[in-house]
Structure 1
Amino acid sequence: MKQTAGDFFGADGTLTDTDRIVLRAPVRSDLASYIGTFAPGLRDAYLEEGEKGQELREGYWSDVMSEGSLFCTIVDDACHERAGFCCIEDLADEDPEIGVRLLPEWRGRGVGTDAVRALMRGVERVSGPQAFVAKIDSGNVASQRLFSGLGFAPVGVDAPIFSDPSLLALIEENSLGLIDDRLRALAKELGVEPRTLLSHALVFRREPDARGTDGPVRRH
């Protein structure tokens, strides 16, 4: 996409809202809630006191506020509490990748689905019909269901984080017990070996003409 983050927010800082949530531009006071969505070990590192923790927080917030990324704070419309955030980390991607993270107490309540739907609607309002992708760990069944319900379909596997073949093999060997019928079926659909899904993220894609964004989204 050719747009930058500022192109998507209205004068009031809102991207879009629904009858349940508001997606708005991030402000510094959101930082704690963003870090609160991280896995425990990573969260502890970012919250560490001292220079190291401060450096991590400042670097992360700089990424969040970059004009080349689109981060939106998810706010509950009824109680006005922060629920987490959703984002497109690189607006330069032809098919932007969507991410969503929620605070633990907001998970399993449909907020993630509402947020991703609203984010896509808000982006398409500016950019026009748009393909989107999501990269999801093979064991994250909840996220797979979320994106599948919004019109995304698995299309392949992402490049692994580690390029060392021996390290990838070790990761897979240590996780072979996780292979079940669901993973075998998914691997067959993607044309890969089941063990490959243990070391690679799944790539889900929603085509521009999909109906996944249908829903009660108010526009500004």
Structure 2
Amino acid sequence: MTVLRGTSVALRPTVREDIRPLAAIRATPEVRARWRGGDDLEADVAADLEDPGTRMLTVGHRRRIIGMIQWYAEEEPDYRHAGIDLFLDPSVHGRGLGTDAVRTLARHLVDVHGYHRLIIDPAADNIAAIRCYTKVGFKPVGIMRQYERGPDGTWHDGLLMDLLATELVR
């Protein structure tokens, strides 16, 4: 895959050289609180990179790595769709770069891969992420109760959101 260009971000396939900077972003308290991982974040990113079911893209802005966006696909014809996940360096939060990254990948998944439906599942209390995804056209489907275990060991709710290709805000 070539580089995908948004208004302000570029999404390119993640390579081994990206592991250290991506692990550093995942180590920030804001990202660590929302993104699963063990004690060795470099090993976690490397394992993600080796997962054949997940396509990782490094998010760049002004020649700097600012995060990672990934996608996976359900290819069973009767349930075909793609899912997205994202993290960005907290130093760039609130600038619309997350919205740009999600919109850029969503356009690619709809226009190039032909997915008619995309999903994303932020923590139910992650208002900033929900606002970001809503700007792209994602709509809440429902609360997934006790969806994932947080770093504190307790279960937290998730919000399932989806986007139909005809709803993509370009």
Q: Which structure carries more relative contact order (alpha carbon 8 Å, separation 6+)? A: 1
Counterpart among 88, 91, 96 of residue 102 in structure 1: 88
Find the counterpart in structure 2 of residue 35 from structure 1: 23
1:34-80 CA-partner distances (Å, limit 9, x unpaired): 2233253959xx796xxxx3xx633531322433211110111xx30
Counterpart among 51, 62, 70 of residue 87 in structure 1: 70
Question: C-alpha distance in 2, partners of 1:64/1:200?
Answer: 27
**1:159 to 1:91, Cα distance in 2 relative to 1, 3 A:** farther
1:210 alignment partner AA: E
Count of matched residue positions in the alignment of Structure 1 and Structure 2: 157
**1:114 to 1:91, Cα distance in 2 relative to 1, 3 A:** same
Question: C-alpha distance in 2, partners of 1:208/1:47?
Answer: 35
1:60 alignment partner AA: V
Counterpart among 121, 125, 136 of residue 122 in structure 2: 136
1:156 alignment partner AA: G
Structure 2 residue 97 is matched with structure 1 residue 111 = yes
The two structures, once aligned, show a CA RMSD in angstroms of: 2.7
1:69 alignment partner AA: T
1:21 alignment partner AA: V
Question: C-alpha distance in 2, partners of 1:67/1:144?
Answer: 28
2:134 alignment partner AA: S
Percent of aligned pairs sharing the same letter? 23
As a proportion of its length, which structure holds more helix? Answer: 1
Q: How does 1:58-97 map to 2 (within 5 A)?
A: 58-76=43-61, 79-88=62-71, 90-92=72-74, 94-97=80-83
Counterpart among 6, 17, 21 of residue 18 in structure 1: 6
Q: CA deviation at 1:158?
A: 2.5
TM-score (norm 1): 0.62
Question: C-alpha distance in 2, partners of 1:36/1:47?
Answer: 13
Tell whether the 8 Å contact from 1:132 to 1:206 is kept in structure 2 after alignment: yes
As a proportion of its length, which structure holds more strand? Answer: 2
Question: C-alpha distance in 1, partners of 2:44/2:91?
Answer: 26
Question: C-alpha distance in 2, partners of 1:126/1:157?
Answer: 30
Question: C-alpha distance in 1, partners of 2:148/2:22?
Answer: 26
Question: C-alpha distance in 2, partners of 1:47/1:28?
Answer: 19
Of 147-156 and 122-131, the range deviating more from structure 2: 122-131
Q: CA deviation at 1:129?
A: 4.2
1:74-102 CA-partner distances (Å, limit 9, x unpaired): 111xx3011101111x3236332211100
Q: CA deviation at 1:103?
A: 0.8
Q: Which runs of 5+ in 1 are unaligned?
A: 1-8, 164-170, 172-197, 215-220
1:125 alignment partner AA: D
Q: How does 1:163-178 map to 2 (within 5 A)?
A: none
